[in-house]
Amino acid sequence: MSPTHRATLFAGLLALTSSLAPAAPPLRPLELSVDATDAPRGIFHARLVVPASPGPMALAYPKWIQGEHTPSGPITQLVGLSIKAGGAVVPWRRDPIDQFLFRLEVAAFDWHGFFTARFYDIAPKIPLGGVEGSGWTLVYDARPNGFQRAWDTMYKQVDQTMSIGLQLSPIGVVQDVVLDSAAWKGGFGPGMTIVSVNGRPFTPAAFEEQLNAATSAAGAIEFLVRHGEDAKTLRIDYHGGVRYPHLERNPLRPDVLAAILAPRAGR
């Protein structure tokens, strides 16, 4: 392929995106990247990211090149065309009359926004759309969660990460602290050992009892902690009590989750 034809083909790849229908306000800037590794062999690998709206769309490869007197756009040198939206392949077809047109249908869904929100953005809360859409809601209260209790027993831990923000060993050693939790803001860190809670020697039962007592107390919870040879008192302003997660049925929605979990045998 001559340098002129290479430049023409490259320009054609860029122009392929210029005739989109229907017209819509840009969702984001057009992006173009070119891999010229195989340029000595006359091969360019191009990737274009183009804003699109739901509905029918036509991509036009230019047939009329400036300075030419015939429709000589090098369409025959375009190979391996693949179109995707949100990671899914979008089928395309050549126009039956104009072979320079590629026609496709864009699904009526904002896949870019979907993947940005679900995979790239940091959400302030856990995504619950699937749970809530299945007829359930996530609640937190003081009722013990059987699964979590069994997990704590198996792994020898006291998990109050969803309340004050601490995960402890049965003897009070801090195993983990939830970022931005009350315990984190009060100065707790992994490796510390809780000696007492509000003056009572630490036990898992005494720890949870004092968390619950704080719901009706105005003052902070006082922890005497030891870290190495140092000891100090941490005052934690927390009044939420113990908290365990539970799923509760929403009677206004069908119970899709039960249908998903139902045994398949005998159907």
| Tens digits of residue pLDDT in 206-227 | 999 999 999 999 999 999 999 9
Taking the domain 143-242, which CATH number applies? 2.30.42.10
For the chain, helix (H) and strand (E) counts, in that order, are 7, 16
| Tens digits of residue pLDDT in 82-99 | 888 767 788 899 999 988
pLDDT of residue 77: 83
- Average pLDDT over the chain, rounded to whole? 84
The mean pLDDT of 174-199, rounded to a whole number, is 95
Domain ranges of the chain: 3-115, 143-242
Phi, psi of 44 (to 5 degrees): -120, 135
Cα–Cα distance for residue pair 90/74, rounded to 1 Å: 24
CB 16 within 8 A of CB 59: yes
Cα–Cα distance for residue pair 222/63, rounded to 1 Å: 78
CB 195 within 8 A of CB 201: yes
The mean pLDDT of 174-195, rounded to a whole number, is 95
Who contacts 233 (Cβ-Cβ below 8 Å, separation ≥6)? 222, 223, 224, 225
The mean pLDDT of 35-39, rounded to a whole number, is 88
The residues facing 223 across adjacent strands are 197, 234
Q: Which amino acid is at 183?
A: A
Q: Residue written as tokens 């699964």?
A: 147
Cα–Cα distance for residue pair 170/234, rounded to 1 Å: 19
Model confidence, pTM: 0.54
